[in-house]
Structure 1
Amino acid sequence: MEVSILIPTYNRVTALAATLTALCAQTFKDFNVIVADQGEVSAASDGTIQTVCRLLELHGTPVRIHQNFPRRGIAQQRQFLLDKSEGRYSLYMDDDVILEPDVVERMLKALREENAGFAGMALVGLSYFHDVRPHQQQIEFWNGMVEPERIRPHTPQWNRYPLHNAANIHHVAEKLSISPKEQRKYKVAWVGGCILYDTQKLRETGGFSFWEELPAEHCGEDVLAQLKLMEKYGGFGIIPSGAYHLELPTTIENREVNAPEYYFQQEISE
């Protein structure tokens, strides 16, 4: 299996159905789908989810939905998925993301071209389509091979993150006339919602095994994993993005503990 698509979900059956349905149209076909469900009602028992899973399987895409209890935080949920990944590459998708048909193919092409740890596509919020924010559209392209970077909270590179707000990445692609066939790679602080990892490299840098060091209620676990991976292998974003956010309220309400700040607190304070 070349790619395992890994989806953590919690009480979002309708959104999950939309996310899975969009996967049916992917131009790249050598993938399976693994869902880790912590919802109060099993997503696998929903008739719509069952139908979409049958459609994926009809076209040769295996789908497995696992319940993962007790709930021990989103980092543990992601590690649970990583432990079940069968692909050379692991595409983590949030359960409220819709992909254009060429996204998996484009991400795979970009990551194969580099010896990097991950490639990400920033999520576009289409409700911000007319909200143009030039002050948040600074972008730094990789003009050579992607290289490792050491990034920590509050460093200058950390200030790259506003590019991923709202619909900024879409507006930048339009402004610079960057098409999917001529996609480019750019420098990131992190990418949320749609990230393709080299599975071996992610496991080598610990994956999300740091979940045991965090309180159960936390956020920023994907950021922490990417910072560790970037430091050894590098990582990048892809423009234009073909990933769209359903813009639902977060299911992680308590965000007092931010994983990278918590994990690197001694380094940051020095």
Structure 2
Amino acid sequence: MNRPLDLGDPAEFRADRRLDVLIPTRNRAAELAVTLAGLAAQEGVPGFGVVVSDQSDGEPAFAHPAAATVVRALRHRGHPVLLTRRLPRRGLAEHRAYLLAASAARYVLTLDDDVWLEPGTLHRLVTAIGELDCGFVGNAVHGLSYADDVRPQTHDRYEEWIGRPLPERVRPGTPEWDRAQIHSAANLLHVTGKLALPAGAWRAYKISWIGGCVLYDRARLVDCGGFDFWRRLPEKHQGEDVAAQLAVLARYGGAGILPSGAYHLESPTTVTERDVEAWEIVLADEDAPQPA
């Protein structure tokens, strides 16, 4: 029988590291174990930290023996891990804000609890954001069950950045917003295959937003408000990641990174009530006419 799992000390965890990975989770013990296993196999970014915040209805997902074993493996490999619970639930954006406040790292990777990262992904993302000097970079997730579903009509949404990404004001109904089509199914995997990049090469491309695996310059994310807009939202919402990224895009720029090493586990969503889009509320506030 496993011994009790050390949860870690929040005060000790906040340190001047290069990178922390922030993972919100709920009712997904198996998926969390796979996500953590992907992190445990990363090389090239020594000593990154991991924060897991659980909002499960019952026992926390990290208490499952499989997840607990990978937590111990991460610590054994020199990665601090903080395990927390955030209850009662106040919505996705509040959960993200709580995780962000737990870190003092130079960069933070917001990683969903149903994404496996292939080896080398963290190193590539950290290298890219350092060279591009923008607000965030990300890896859109591949849905491998769609690997045979080629959609060439979406491939023209791919457009590379030449040089450093510039700030962009992206809004619905514009060509820039339609860039998101390249991230559905396995579209990005097919675009990557056509480019035939040499080993170790990567490209930065223009995006509207990226879901699942996004690396932020933490100070720049905080400067744009982070996820503090959660106070203006009803508890049941989605699209909080879109709202945060649009704000950072407008001030500091951002980019997708290809190839992507992020793979979606394609489990059923735990966000079942999707009536409210956080970004719609946030944009309505930002774009409202200001009093003279």
Q: Deviations over 1:6-35 (max 9, x none)?
A: 000000000000000111110122301001
Structure 2 counterpart of 1:246: 265
Write the distance in 2 (CA, Å) between the matches of 1:131 and 1:44: 35
Structure 1 counterpart of 2:114: 96
**Identical residues among aligned pairs (%):** 47
Q: How does 1:227-238 map to 2 (within 5 A)?
A: 227-238=246-257
Q: How does 1:209-228 map to 2 (within 5 A)?
A: 209-228=228-247
| Equivalent in 47, 56, 61 of residue 74 of structure 2 | 56
Q: 1:178 is matched by which residue type in structure 2?
A: L
| Equivalent in 179, 203, 206 of residue 187 of structure 1 | 206
Runs of at least 5 residues in structure 2 that lack an aligned partner in the other structure: 1-16
Deviates more, 1:42-51 or 1:23-32: 42-51
Write the distance in 2 (CA, Å) between the matches of 1:226 and 1:251: 22
Contact 1:149/1:231 (8 A) holds in 2? yes
Structure 1 counterpart of 2:56: 39
Q: TM-score, normalised by structure 2?
A: 0.90
Alignment of 1:157 onto 2:176: yes
Alignment of 1:135 onto 2:153: yes
Change (3 A) 1:163 1:45: same
Alignment of 1:17 onto 2:17: no
Contact 1:31/1:61 (8 A) holds in 2? yes
Q: Deviations over 1:119-138 (max 9, x none)?
A: 00000000011111001112
Alignment of 1:2 onto 2:18: yes
Write the distance in 1 (CA, Å) between the matches of 2:130 and 2:39: 21
Write the distance in 1 (CA, Å) between the matches of 2:140 and 2:82: 26
- What is the SS of the residue equivalent to 2:176? helix
Structure 1 counterpart of 2:13: none
Contact 2:23/2:111 (8 A) holds in 1? yes
Deviates more, 1:252-261 or 1:160-169: 252-261
Write the distance in 2 (CA, Å) between the matches of 1:63 and 1:5: 9
Contact 2:32/2:62 (8 A) holds in 1? no
Q: 1:31 is matched by which residue type in structure 2?
A: F
Query: After TM superposition, what 4+ stretches of structure 1 lie above 3 angstroms from structure 2?
Result: 266-270
Runs of at least 5 residues in structure 1 that lack an aligned partner in the other structure: none
Contact 2:139/2:257 (8 A) holds in 1? yes
Alignment length, in residue pairs?
270
Q: Deviations over 1:59-94 (max 9, x none)?
A: 111111100011000000000000001310000100
Q: TM-score, normalised by structure 1?
A: 0.97
Write the distance in 2 (CA, Å) between the matches of 1:37 and 1:66: 6
| Equivalent in 184, 192, 214 of residue 173 of structure 1 | 192
Q: 1:102 is matched by which residue type in structure 2?
A: G
Contact 1:173/1:179 (8 A) holds in 2? no
Structure 1 counterpart of 2:215: 196
Contact 1:7/1:95 (8 A) holds in 2? yes
Write the distance in 1 (CA, Å) between the matches of 2:287 and 2:120: 39
